[in-house]
Amino acid sequence: MINNQGRTNKTRGFPRPVVRTALAFLVLVVISVVPHSQAGGQSTEDGQALFQKRCTGCHALDADHEGPRLRGVVGRMAGAVKTFKYSTSLQNAGFTWDAAKLDQWLSDTESVVPDNDMSFRVPKPDERAAIVSYLKSLSTQ
């Protein structure tokens, strides 16, 4: 078939409707294979995996270790787990943990509470967001 500009309606030997159908099929395949995500391009499952990889060396969800238990941290006052010995500065911090404060904490603990005992950072914003989203999901259960 020849269009009004004297060119055929084919793309590399294939009629345009076939090419469009193939592209539409490819888009559907990609959409169905790529998992749907939450905060910052990371899913809650990613957050759980990142938490286990990055945080469980010092923290657990339901028991104190080198760091305090973290289940329910979102909505909890900083330095408030009675069974954990916090630095004096964290005991006196006077704020409640929320997603923004946790993100800032994981970015640079000293900017949140100077002279605290935690010297760990998660430099990638999407990883911080996934970890915070995971912790937040545990605080609402």
- Looking at the structure, do residues 9 and 51 belong to the same domain, yes or no? no
pLDDT of 21 > 80? The answer is no
- Looking at the structure, do residues 76 and 106 belong to the same domain, yes or no? yes
- Looking at the structure, do residues 81 and 98 belong to the same domain, yes or no? yes
Residue 24 — very low, low, confident or very high, per pLDDT cuts 50/70/90?
Answer: very low
Conformation bin of residue 70: beta by default, left when phi > 0, alpha when psi is -120 to 50 = alpha
Backbone angles phi, psi at 14, to 5 degrees: -105, 135
What pLDDT is recorded for position 43?
72
CB count in 10 Å sphere of residue 103: 18
- Looking at the structure, do residues 11 and 54 belong to the same domain, yes or no? no
Residue 45 — very low, low, confident or very high, per pLDDT cuts 50/70/90?
Answer: confident
Counted domains in the chain: 2
Tell me: the pLDDT tens digits for 46-88? 999 999 999 999 999 999 999 999 999 999 999 999 999 999 9
Contact at 8 Å (CB) between 61 and 52?
no
Residue 2 belongs to what domain range? Answer: 1-34
Query: Span 84-97, mean pLDDT?
Result: 97
pTM: 0.69
- Looking at the structure, do residues 27 and 43 belong to the same domain, yes or no? no
- Looking at the structure, do residues 45 and 95 belong to the same domain, yes or no? yes
Tell me: the pLDDT tens digits for 96-134? 999 999 999 999 999 999 999 999 999 999 999 999 999
- Looking at the structure, do residues 66 and 124 belong to the same domain, yes or no? yes
**How far is the C-alpha of 37 from the C-alpha of 43, rounded, in Å?**
4
Indicate which CATH number applies to the domain containing 68: 1.10.760.10
- Looking at the structure, do residues 53 and 121 belong to the same domain, yes or no? yes
What pLDDT is recorded for position 38?
40
